[in-house]
Structure 1
């Protein structure tokens, strides 16, 4: 077998030319395409990683906002509960105060009604006492009633101090003797003698009738007045009853 170096040389040259052509027109573009694809893939991967990081950051932000909103919601609920509790306490306090004012007003109205009823009963009692006294006096003989009246007046004046009796009389003044029923002349003479004995011989007297006195005598001087009558007794008893009622009011309200 004969080896042809020329053919080998030509084939080698052809091979080198082919390799150069392939490298220049095939391998370089392919490698460029592969590099571009690689860079594009890396860019896509980088973009995906950035998007994933952004998504992770957004998710963390959403979670943080959710926690913040939850905390804010709890705070709002706590404030609302505290405000509602304060408002409930205020409403309860106002209701208690209103109830206390209503009770006080009711008690005041009840006290006023009791006072009105008491005054009405006292007035009826006084009127009844007047009626009873008038009927009892009507059953007594006039002479006996007059004698008893003067005896009571004499005994009553004997118990009074001199200063009190001195206030009844004045120089040149007239002492008025008021009785429920007018005294006859004999009774007036007996009364004049008794009063002059008690108050002085120069005493000037005038007798008047006053049915409102019911019974008894009222001496009306220029500077003082002395009453020993059933009317005065009834008024004094009414005043004492009123004072007793007032003294019992704090005990009842307590």
Structure 2
């Protein structure tokens, strides 16, 4: 069988033309389409990967912020608990101080009330004692008692310190008349006894007046100007009352 080389060549040419046509008009668009699809897929994958990376970064950021928030929350809770403990301690101390102050105030008020009551009772008892003593001495006092008290006056005058005597001398100043007050009339002998004792002790010379004052109950009161020497029963009772009120 002989080969028709002309036909063979034409068939080869037809095949090559067909291949060229297929490649130009069919295979290349398919390749382009596949390449475009591949590029699209790669782009989508890249975008997905980028989105995933962003999501992972956001997740890490959120987890970091969540951890920071948990730490801040724990620190805030600890700070709040510390502040509450300090405030509770301060309030308890303030309450204790207030209670102590209230106890002290109540104790002071009670002590003041007790002291006032004691003073009142002491004053009442002193007043009653003075009334009793005044009534008793008013009954038993007489000329004999008066004479004895005159002697006591002379003894007390002799025992006075010099500074007290200087004050009496300054009060008399050489001009004022001395005044003796007694509860009962004194005989001349006792008057002379008193005058001599005063002249000797105070170094003064002059006349003395003698007056009667039943309020003295008994005893002698010497007045020299603005100064007095009181050795009477009434004076002693008054001094007792004053010392009782001051001592209470």
Q: What TM bracket, shorter-length normalisation?
A: 0.7 to 0.9
Relative to structure 1, the CA distance from residue 189 to residue 58 in structure 2 (aligned partners, 3 Å threshold; closer, same or farther) is same
**Which of residues 210, 231, 236 in structure 2 aligns to 1:230?**
236
Q: Name the SS for the 1:29 alignment partner.
A: helix
Deviations 1:187-229 (A, max 9, x none): 2535422211201263412424263x56543322214222333
**Which of residues 181, 184, 206 in structure 2 aligns to 1:202?**
206
Structure 1: gaps (5+ residues): 243-254
Aligned-residue offset at 1:20:
1.3
The structure whose RCO (Cα within 8 Å, separation 6+) is larger is: 2
Q: Could you tell me which residue of structure 1 aligns to residue 184 of structure 2?
A: 183
* Distance in structure 2 (CA, Å) of the matches to 1:96 and 1:191: 73
Q: Could you tell me which residue of structure 2 aligns to residue 99 of structure 1?
A: 99
Bigger mean CA deviation after superposition, 152-161 or 66-75 = 152-161
Aligned 1:155-170 pairs, distance under 5 A: 155-161=155-161, 164-165=164-165, 167=168, 169-170=172-173
* Distance in structure 1 (CA, Å) of the matches to 2:111 and 2:176: 48
User: When the two structures are superposed, what TM-score results if normalisation uses the length of structure 2?
Assistant: 0.80
Q: Could you tell me which residue of structure 2 aligns to residue 174 of structure 1?
A: 177
Aligned 1:37-52 pairs, distance under 5 A: 37-52=37-52
User: When the two structures are superposed, what TM-score results if normalisation uses the length of structure 1?
Assistant: 0.78
Q: Could you tell me which residue of structure 2 aligns to residue 109 of structure 1?
A: 109
Q: Could you tell me which residue of structure 1 aligns to residue 202 of structure 2?
A: none
Q: Could you tell me which residue of structure 2 aligns to residue 241 of structure 1?
A: 247
Relative to structure 1, the CA distance from residue 132 to residue 146 in structure 2 (aligned partners, 3 Å threshold; closer, same or farther) is same
Q: Could you tell me which residue of structure 2 aligns to residue 246 of structure 1?
A: none
Alignment length (residue pairs):
237
Aligned-residue offset at 1:18:
1.6
Relative to structure 1, the CA distance from residue 214 to residue 12 in structure 2 (aligned partners, 3 Å threshold; closer, same or farther) is farther
CA RMSD of aligned residues (A): 2.8
Q: Name the SS for the 1:183 alignment partner.
A: coil
Q: Could you tell me which residue of structure 1 aligns to residue 222 of structure 2?
A: 219
Deviations 1:14-59 (A, max 9, x none): 2222211111111101101110010001001100100000000000
* Distance in structure 1 (CA, Å) of the matches to 2:220 and 2:157: 11
Are the aligned partners of 1:173 and 1:204 in contact in 2 as well (CA < 8 Å)? no
* Distance in structure 2 (CA, Å) of the matches to 1:170 and 1:119: 42
Aligned-residue offset at 1:124:
1.2
Detail structure 1 runs of 4+ shifted over 6 Å in the superposition: none
Aligned-residue offset at 1:162:
6.0
Structure 2: gaps (5+ residues): 200-204
